[in-house]
Chains A and B, each alone.
Chain A
Amino acid sequence: MKHLVKLMIAITAIISLQANAAKAQLDVQVSVAKADNGNVNATLNITNNGNGQQKILGWYTDLNEEHIFSVKKDGVEVDFFGPHYKRQAPTDKDFIKLKSGQSLTKTFELSALYDMSTTGNYEVSYDVKSMHLYSNKGQQKKTERLAVEQLSSAVSVIWLDGIESKGSANKGKPGGGGGAGDCIGGTCFTGRCDNGQKTEIISALAAADQITNNSVSYLSSHAANNTSARYNTWFGDATSARYNTAVDHFDAINDAIDNQPVTFDCSCKKSYFAYVYPTQPYKVYLCRAFWNANELGTDSRAGTIVHELSHFNAVAGTDDVVYGQSGAQSLATSNPDQALNNADSHEYFAENTPNQN
């Protein structure tokens, strides 16, 4: 009896699969290509090769709406960082209609939504299972309503070279070595950073490390009674208390870069450089101006990272007293204590552009 029930279920399943197979007239193809900056673009093509019109639920044609691609690295499924929406049952207007012979082509950047930052062989295919793939089943019989429809493509394969963390910026960090989450050598990413952005962030962080090391060595080779133009321009007159504050601040910034789990978030689309919540170390939100900035120099990517790290209460707890070089210079003259509380003053001291001894 038990076997009979199983057999019946199996037969029902086969019938329903066949019914759907007969109905599906869509051919799906996926091709993947690597861009120069390391981004991975997948082009999805869905063609109606049947005689009649065919419908497909719109959100299953859009990676920004649903998890439509299966991505495997060396045979292991890669986590999807994109959205999972809870939706209501679809209505007719949610379906895209394809006439006989008509096709739909869309390209999606994959590395922002799947972790594709490590070296390996990646297999990408379109693979969707849904109870509502082809039609709004509201009017249909229960057995048909509950049947799961599936549409998939052949696998497209691409070899990717991983993004390496260079220099000493990430040594000894917790969570390093491509472990849990979307991290490279101890630097983590949220908010859909794509491979191109991850590469640029890793490089900017190495540059931030370089200018911070330079600041630390300046401070250790000078003293409160032996400052030079570089210190005086950005922090004004030195007392031993003030000088020690500068030393503490740059040691803490250096420690954050070298030893703390810094996370960069790429979701901000505003005109700003970047922002942080001072009470929430060590997460830095990067915005549009950051991506347009040079890596080094005044108001650079490296300097912006120094600026933002200095804001964390766990680092230097700085404020934005004034913005810009001329404001920071005036502040150094008029109020050296406030200059040591000003994030831009730290940034400009570290950037040291134009160069001063």
Chain B
Amino acid sequence: MFSIHYLWIKKTFIPLVLFISYSSITSHKALANMELPIQYCSMSINSTLLSTDQVSLNFSLQNPYDKNMRLLIWYTPFEGFFSDLFIITNSDTGEQLNYQGPMVKRLQPQIEDYLSLSANEISSITLNLSLVYVFTQGNYQLQLKKNSFNFEEDNLTTFPLFCKTPFLEFNIK
């Protein structure tokens, strides 16, 4: 799995680097690599409340900058289900689950499409995946589909960051 991630990172890197001015990023060495360490973005499934109607996923992301930033929430869990956010595979059959939620045509993001985060603030959201994916009993594997997050400063400079989220496995009884 790691090697797949690594390749993806390598491919994504070059364009990202061009966008980012190093001097704007404070403190963290890891940010120079544009990949956030795992503690900045976490994702987990609540295994105690797992059923075909209730697959609760908690996602959290920390502002890695020592200043106020805003995050474009489009195509991220913070938007809720307005796009196909996850790649979910039934490990028993090898089939990928079809997203059943809304598909949105967008224009320009407006002020309400951003989440304001103060310096190093952590934001979390819980989503019930069974609202938009049809689960049956069995074993599943889950990944976040889009791993890059666009942080912006007030001056609208964009800092796309790659967030390495875990690859989750769970079982629905």
Interface residues in chain A, defined as those with a beta carbon under 8 Å from any beta carbon in chain B: 270-279, 285, 288-289, 299, 304, 307-308, 311, 319-320, 323, 343-344
Contacts and interface: CB of A to CB of B under 8 A. Distances in A.
Contacts of B102: 275-277, 285
Interface string B89-128: 0000000000011111111111011000000000000000
25 contacts: A271-B107, A271-B109, A271-B110, A271-B113, A272-B105, A272-B106, A272-B107, A273-B105, A273-B107, A275-B82, A275-B102, A275-B103, A276-B102, A277-B103, A289-B106, A289-B107, A304-B105, A307-B105, A308-B105, A311-B103, A319-B103, A320-B83, A320-B103, A320-B104, A323-B105
> Considering residues A279, A343, A344, which has the most beta carbons from chain B within 10 angstroms of its beta carbon?
A279
Contacts of B109: 271
Interface residues of B, number: 15
Contacts of A274: 104-105
Interface in B25-69: none
A285 B104 CA distance: 9
> Considering residues B83, B107, B113, which has the most beta carbons from chain A within 10 angstroms of its beta carbon?
B107
Contacts of B110: 271, 288
Nearest to A269: B112
Nearest to A318: B103
B63 to A, nearest CB: 23
Contacts of A304: 105
Given A275-B82, A275-B102, A285-B102, 10 more contacts: A271-B107, A275-B103, A275-B104, A276-B102, A278-B103, A279-B100, A289-B106, A308-B105, A311-B103, A320-B104
Nearest to B103: A311
| Dominant SS among interface residues on chain B | loop
Contacts of A276: 102-103
B99 to A, nearest CB: 9
A117 to B, nearest CB: 26
Nearest to B132: A277
> Considering residues A271, A276, A277, A307, which has the most beta carbons from chain B within 10 angstroms of its beta carbon?
A271
Given A277-B100, A279-B100, A271 B108 contact: yes
A270 B83 CA distance: 14
Contacts of A343: 103, 105
| Dominant SS among interface residues on chain A | mixed
Contacts of A319: 103
A320 B101 CA distance: 13
Contacts of A273: 104-107
B131 to A, nearest CB: 11
Nearest to B79: A270
A278 B101 CA distance: 8
A279 to B, nearest CB: 5
A271 B105 contact: no
B100 A271 contact: no
A24 B166 CA distance: 67
Nearest to A271: B110
Contacts of A278: 100, 103
A273 B101 CA distance: 16
Which 4 residue pairs across A and B have the least CB separation, nearest first?
A: A271-B110, A289-B107, A273-B105, A275-B104
A279 B132 CA distance: 11
A273 B110 CA distance: 12
Interface in B70-87: 82-83
A78 B67 CA distance: 56
A288 B83 CA distance: 18
A277 to B, nearest CB: 5
Contacts of A271: 106-110, 112-113
B105 A320 contact: yes
A350 to B, nearest CB: 14
Contacts of A320: 83, 103-105
Contacts of A270: 112
A133 B92 CA distance: 62
B82 to A, nearest CB: 7
A176 B104 CA distance: 28
Contacts of B106: 271-273, 289, 323
B101 A277 contact: yes
A199 to B, nearest CB: 22
A275 B83 CA distance: 10
A279 B102 CA distance: 9
